[in-house]
Structure 1
Amino acid sequence: MAPSAMSRWTRSLSEARPVAYWLDDPGRPEPEPALTGTETCDLLVVGGGYSGLWTALIAKERDPGRDVVLVEGREVGWAASGRNGGFCAASLTHGLPNGLTRWPGEIHKLEELGARNLDAIEETVARHSIDCDFERTGEIDVATEAHQVRELRDWYREVERAGLAEGIDLLDAEAVREQVDSPTFRAGLWDRRGVAMLHPAKLAWGLKRACRELGVRVHERTPALTLKPYGAGMAVRTPYGQIRARTVALGTNVFPSLVRRVRSYTVPVYDYALMTEPLTADQLASIGWKNRQGLGDSANRFHYFRLSADNRILWGGYDAIYPYGGRVRAEYDDRPETYAKLAGHFFTCFPQLEGVRFTHAWGGAIDTCSRFSAFFGTAHAGKVAYAAGYTGLGVGATRFGAEVMLDLLAGERTERTELEMVRRKPLPFPPEPFAWTGIALTKWSLARADAHGGRRNLWLRTMDRLGLGFDS
């Protein structure tokens, strides 16, 4: 990259605030008071992101008489649930390719359950009047290199053979550029109904309101410190009190689980994003995008991008940063060197938007597991359930995970709990320094594959055979 280009592109970041655009909202609700003293309940939900919010809401919808308490260590939606790209996907398996590879025998059922789950999210948003800019626009996976065009075509033929191509269109270069005009786009796959765009923080805040309206007691700024058996149930200690509950659902995702044995199944991966200023009518016309789909490119080190309700462009991805030791720290949320890369990539994709400024630049941790999709389980003789490992696609799948946790706590055999995906766990990550070394080698190999026509080296082929991976 020429120094002059770098200087020109980084100037676009000069006024970018290091805070998530979605959370930088004057309508952000005030947090609920922290828990003080001792409370009792039927179900305690730990975590105020999507996983916990959906669990609390569905628990009350299933049984309005159930006494439910939700505790959140900081504020509802402050972490991944308020910092993501706002892509709400039907897929429960981190995309159809991953699902078809890992669970070919139940992929049709998984796709059906995922579609029903996205429909249920849309219905809940409408029923509870959650103003979160929900748009069922679909998503286009775009090819920007010749080998990616071949891979998209081959994949589309495989999807057709599997009987899963309904609602998915293969677009050539002209067709994809009719949708969104970039000189880098060579082909695309448009999933017309399987993805919705939304304002992620407003969804979290709306779910919090819906929970409270149904009688859920919500305590923010209340971290759960310990989890121990207490009589016939469980007790969770907090800084100023404790909660005694018959059952507990853990929706803490990237943060260390209160069930210690679960911790090795996930690692934190830091993802970063930029948000532009609102585009003018002429700027928007120069790229088209009339159907407002979400987009993602097909590289291993991929970008994701979409329009906001006020016609800003969110542009994120590419770098996936794993900190040695797997620690989650606030200082990792801001990474100027990644912002500079993303700005350069943005203007390469959309040169007609030269001069647009970025108003926000931020990052955050994703809970990544080795199979890229959520896993589930119970502890303490079935009195505690957990779900984690959504690997960046939890906006939609966390609702499904909430239903799984509630099924497990009820001891019920359902169409969800009978799934192999639910019954089996991914392989755990090894301890340090092996985790960092393996992840670093995988990242290097993925970048090398992108630069060499998609050819996967021996390390990646071995990882593929073992069903292991690293993604965001």
Structure 2
Amino acid sequence: MSRTGADSPPDDLENDVEETRNSVYWHDTEPVEVGEPLDGDASCDICIVGAGYTGLWAAHFLAEAEPAADIKVLEAETVGSGASSANGGFVGLTAGKVLRRLLWYYGREKAAGVYRSGARSIIDIGRFCRQYGIDADFAMNGVLQVVTDRKQLARLELQVKRSERTGLRGSFKLLDRDEAQQRIGSPQVLGALRTTGALVNPHRLVQGLARVVREQSVDIHERTPVTEVRKVGGRYRVTTPTGTVTANEVVLATNAWQHSFAQTHTKVMPVWNYLMVTEPLTDAQLSRVAWPGREGVSNSLSFAHAARLTADNRVVWSGGRWYYYDQRDTDRSHLRNDAAHAELRESFARFFPAWRDVRFSHAFGGPIGWSRTFIPQFGRTDDGLVYGHGYTGNGIAPSHTGGKILRDLVLRRDTEYTDLAYVTVNQPKFAKGAMGDKGAHLFIWRQETGDRLPLLLPHPAALAPRSFFAGRAARRAAGANR
């Protein structure tokens, strides 16, 4: 990618990436006290492995449903130390490419069910924060899916058609170039789709959720990595370096780390994505770019970039290509990736040229759990373990829904949640070992190449953008008047 001319940052910012802190920005917004590890052997009704959103929502909903149940949560590091606190804080619906796959493989009813559950979870997370006094900066600002080239316009056209096929017309609003640029002041923007969504401080949310779960008499043991889960007789033995837990039911909820367990090794792949956070913008800097609604923003590439404002007026800029490290490596040394952060700096300068002089204070990354279908997976393994994972970079809202799915799977209930596509659709697996490594690299190359190729097939939106937006607006107005 070019680093010359208008595409590159000013000369005095060339070393900006190297000077940033390679730490998770959100962790600076609220200090935490690390809980005690497991100390010796224990027994319980339900053992949950993983204290991120998935595991903690499951614990919360299980404790609500069965207050007398003895529930223990085991966390390898600290609460939310994985993707739950190292993401952009977007609480949104499933991406458009997922809708395509849902419609193609599973039909309109299943696709619509996924979207309806996600929309409910967005609202319910806000209610949860208000009910329990969690100061997570939850803001129901909506999300703008913007397009920055004609190929993305074609993708937007297809997404609109698919959304209408599933009866989701009322959950989005199409904006032409002028309307979109009034919502987000980037000269790259050619149009946008405004959808339901919210923004949140993900670290404060997961810490608040952990507090609520502890108040429900659930034990959370941090610094307690699980090395093996094995069925012995009619119960499960969960082994850790500091003790063993024997449980009637076990939930595996480690998302990108699910490959650590033999039962789920091939179900999900860990791929890394990266973020950068600016220093707080001054009022003068903020005034350079129109962003009146402070929505979350993402473009329509396969490897999309995304932007949002924090409560203290920093810009979070994230996304770009995925990185896969062989043998499913999730070592924390990959938190720093100079190539990824340099690309983010350049793409930020192109999208927000008025902020080319803004400096970044934090640069970090983390592994996301990639499922082959791009939708989360829930179910039981052959030996009866309950699992949930595979959010593929969009997990805050689906993990809330997932907590209810896991509750009902553990309690062996047939409900609207266990009937969602997350549970009932086919769950193809990844290959093991070197073949799995090659497959991951091939997929990333293919997606990158697809983003760079020109538009190959004609689409009305790409050939005549004004007519496309005007026609859609006219049809929407006619429908509203009927």
Aligned residue for 2:169, secondary structure, equals: coil
SS at match of 1:150: helix
Given that 1:56 and 1:216 are in contact with CA atoms closer than 8 Å, whether structure 2 keeps it comes out as yes
2:379–2:387 Cα contact (<8 Å) kept: yes
Partner of 1:291: 293
TM-superposed CA distance for 1:400, in Å, is 1.5
The reply to whether residue 439 of structure 1 matches residue 440 of structure 2 is yes
* 1:23-45 C-alpha deviation (Å, 9 max, x unpaired): 133x3210111111122211111
CA drift of 1:252 comes to 1.1
Name which of 92, 106, 117 aligns with 2:121: 117
- Deviation of 1:52 (Å): 0.7
Corresponding position: 1:103 with 2:103: no
1:379 to 378, 381, 388: 381
Aligned residue for 1:151?
A: 155
In structure 2, give the amino acid aligned to 1:418: D
CA distance in structure 2 between the aligned counterparts of 1:450 and 1:47, rounded to whole angstroms: 35
Partner residue of 1:365? Answer: 367
Question: Which residue of the partner structure matches residue 324 of structure 2?
Answer: 322
Q: Is the counterpart of residue 140 in structure 1 residue 152 in structure 2?
A: no
Q: CA separation in 2, counterparts of 1:288 and 1:16?
A: 26
Separation of aligned partners in 1, 2:58 and 2:421: 21
Counterpart of 2:226 in structure 1 is 224
> What residue number does 2:275 align with?
273
Superposition RMSD in Å: 2.1
Instruction: Indicate conservation of the 8 Å contact 1:9/1:340, yes or no.
Output: no
Residue 237 of structure 2 contacts residue 244 of structure 2 at CA under 8 Å; is this kept in 1? yes
Match of 2:217 in 1: 215
Output the CA distance in 2 between the equivalents of 1:306 and 1:95: 22
**Which residue is equivalent to 2:410?**
409
Offset at residue 445 of structure 1 (A) = 2.8
Q: 2:92 aligns with which of 82, 89, 92?
A: 89
Q: Among residues 56, 59, 68, which one is paired with 2:59 in the alignment?
A: 56
Secondary structure of 1:36's counterpart equals: coil
Could you tell me how far apart the structure 2 residues matched to 1:347 and 1:278 are?
A: 17
Are the structure 2 counterparts of residues 184 and 48 from structure 1 closer, same or farther at C-alpha, using a change threshold of 3 Å? same
Structure 1 match to 2:430 = 429
Cα distance in structure 2, aligned partners of 1:61 and 1:337: 46
1:264 aligns with 2:274: no
Residue 170 in structure 1 maps to residue 174 in structure 2: yes
Match of 1:73 in 2: 76
Q: Tell me the distance in 2 between the aligned counterparts of 1:279 and 1:301.
A: 27
Which residue of structure 2 lines up, in the alignment, with residue 184 of structure 1? 188
The offset of 1:258, in angstroms, is: 6.3
Q: What secondary structure, in the 3-state scheme, does the structure 1 residue paired with 2:245 have?
A: strand
1-side partners of 2:251 and 2:446: how far apart?
Answer: 38
Contact 2:37–2:223 (8 Å) recurs in 1? yes
Asked whether the 8 Å contact 2:308–2:317 carries over to 1, the reply is: yes
Partner in structure 1 of residue 49 of structure 2: 46
Q: Quick one: distance in 2 between partners of 1:88 and 1:169?
A: 18
Q: Deviations over 1:219-266 (max 9, x none)?
A: 111111221234532221221111121211111111145651321121
Pick closer, same or farther for the CA change 1:75–1:255 going to 2, 3 Å: same
Q: What percent of counterpart residues are identical?
A: 31
Judge conservation of contact 1:234–1:246 (CA < 8 Å) in 2: yes
Instruction: Indicate the residue corresponding to 2:339 in structure 1.
Output: 337
Change (3 A) 1:219 1:154: closer
Alpha-carbon spacing, 1:337–1:259, altered in 2? closer, same or farther (3 Å) = closer
Could you tell me how far apart the structure 2 residues matched to 1:154 and 1:71 are?
A: 43
1:463 maps to: none
Q: Name the CA distance, whole Å, in 1 between partners of 2:275 and 2:364.
A: 6
Unaligned runs of 5+ in 1: 457-472
Of 291, 301, 304, 1:302 maps to 304
Secondary structure of the structure 2 residue equivalent to 1:339: helix
- 1:293–1:306 Cα contact (<8 Å) kept: yes
Q: Secondary structure at the match of 1:80?
A: coil
Deviation larger for 45-54 or 10-19: 10-19
Deviates more, 1:233-242 or 1:109-118: 109-118
Deviates more, 1:398-407 or 1:352-361: 398-407
Query: For residue 179 of structure 1, what is the amino acid of its counterpart?
Result: R
1:209 Cα deviation after fit: 0.4
Normalised by the length of structure 2, the TM-score is 0.89
- C-alpha contact 1:173 1:188 (8 A) present in aligned 2: yes
| Structure 2, gaps ≥5 residues long | 458-482
Deviation at 1:155, TM superposition (A): 2.8
Give the aligned residue type for 1:114.
Answer: G
Residue 390 of structure 1 is matched in structure 2 by: 391
Q: How far did 1:418 drift?
A: 2.5
Cα shift at 1:114: 2.0
Deviation at 1:109, TM superposition (A): 2.3
